[in-house]
Chain A
């Protein structure tokens, strides 16, 4: 391989997603356009780089020597299937999608998959969202959290006990900070900023080793969202108190969470007889039916 080819090849390898024409021209300004085109063609023919199209952008991706060796031993169909599986990254690709994209008949696809699997190049994975679909990915790739379900799933089954327990812990922590300790019947004023944030909760959980697996802030936020929908907590405007070391406006807002107390007494507003009045729609300031002459109100007010 000539020097020019070498340079372009290493450039392509250095970028994970490949290089485009502009970048190559930038890095190698002395190279005439024709020589560049020839070099690209040579590399493409040998298989050292491959063409990738993202939208209107054309990129040249470097193919590592190891991968080249691997794919050179495969026949056309296997190589196509391998490339499709590789492109699916850590999400995996469904057999049906494979068939559609490759346009190959079922028997050939199955044969290729069996061969690739036997050579331990690909592996089959199961997704928690579609447990019956056959997904494949490269053996070296770790399935994404989307597929495995993250910390909430063990072996494709939702670990409800774990989730419940952890949620309860979070709720207790939030509740402890939500109402004044010396008098639990009181509430904090509107300006109170001492409610816990997701990152504080995460620190509490990890410090006290409540869970055996590591949880990210996103995981904690998922739990808190679940508690919000359960009506147990609410999300309040982000903390802006820089002194307390809380992030303010740096990327994602740092929401605070406050526990809700289930009201056990009806609100006084529901006691007003107008709610149960059969002629409420005809009631107005003047006329036959007015609050001034209302018998229900009179009875209610005579307490």
Chain B
């Protein structure tokens, strides 16, 4: 999957890191656009997935017909017996691999993805989530969905989401309060926009602080920096939260 560097998405990404209105959490999101054109490692991944599927089919021959039909055909992409559905699974796995370079998602199965009812449903759900958590005016003003629409033409898309179990979650070591992973897949344009977002609690930092620090802290009257939002959990360590406790 070739990463497409799009100016408008880059600008949006800067706005997608913000503290929640409750002040004790941070939302870190990013939007990435990929073209479904096969890059180097993709061919290998595709062959690997196809082989895995064929092996499963072979194994299924030993099972009863009822058991095998359940495990092999039902998938959010359509029946897995169709190559087209397997292709979509491949695109999604390749996108995850490209977006999270420290991870390898080739062991995922189709049932860890869900097909969303409609693109509209998803855009509304994402907007509601972000608004509820207090997204800054800058984000609201940036007309996020219009930008995304320019890239991928949302109405034409199939939208899938990845709901990992705890061990396969790329955000597992950050312990997020919530997270989502949406794929906007436009078959005709052969493009995917991957919208991933997580909300992590600042309170995790407190685990390492001693009781002394927790109670008395380091009370300065420092001006809060409002323009610089952390882009990762490691940046959070540098932040003074609300001018009070320095953790």
Contact = CB atoms under 8 A, between A and B. Distances in A.
Contacts of A106: 101
A288 B107 CA distance: 71
Interface in A118-141: 124, 126, 129-134
Contacts, number: 34
A163 interface: no
A177 interface: no
Given A130-B168, A132-B104, A132-B170, 18 more contacts: A95-B101, A95-B102, A99-B102, A106-B101, A126-B104, A130-B172, A131-B107, A131-B167, A131-B168, A132-B105, A132-B107, A132-B108, A132-B164, A132-B167, A133-B103, A133-B104, A134-B102, A156-B107
A131 B169 CA distance: 9
A110 B40 CA distance: 14
Contacts of A126: 104, 107
A153 interface: no
Nearest to B96: A132
Interface string B167-179: 1111010000000
Contacts of B169: 132
Interface in A83-97: 94-96
Contacts of B172: 130
Interface of A: 94-96, 99, 106, 110, 124, 126, 129-134, 156
Contact of B101 (A110, A129, A131, A156): A110
- Is the interface on chain B under 10, 10 to 19, 20 to 34, or 35 or more residues? 10 to 19
Nearest to A126: B107
Which 7 pairs from chain A and chain B are nearest by CB?
A96-B102, A132-B103, A132-B168, A95-B102, A134-B104, A131-B107, A132-B105
Interface of B: 101-105, 107-108, 164, 167-170, 172
Contacts of B105: 132
Most A Cβ at <10 Å: residue of B102, B168, B170: B102
A95 B103 CA distance: 8
Contacts of B103: 132-134
Nearest to A99: B102
B192 to A, nearest CB: 19
Contacts of A94: 102
Nearest to A96: B102
A97 to B, nearest CB: 9
A129 B167 CA distance: 6
A133 B102 CA distance: 7
B198 to A, nearest CB: 16
Of A95, A129, A131, the most chain B CB neighbours within 10 A belong to: A131
B81 to A, nearest CB: 22
A129 B169 CA distance: 11
A1 to B, nearest CB: 42
A130 B167 contact: yes
Nearest to B168: A132
Contacts of A132: 103-105, 107-108, 164, 167-170
Contacts of B168: 130-132
B99 to A, nearest CB: 12
B131 to A, nearest CB: 31
30 contacts: A94-B102, A95-B101, A95-B102, A96-B102, A99-B102, A106-B101, A110-B101, A124-B104, A126-B104, A126-B107, A129-B167, A130-B167, A130-B172, A131-B107, A131-B167, A131-B168, A132-B103, A132-B104, A132-B105, A132-B108, A132-B164, A132-B167, A132-B168, A132-B170, A133-B102, A133-B103, A134-B102, A134-B103, A134-B104, A156-B107
User: Which of A96, A99, A131, A132 has most B Cβ within 10 Å?
Assistant: A132
A156 B107 CA distance: 9
A224 to B, nearest CB: 25
B165 to A, nearest CB: 10
Contacts of A133: 102-104
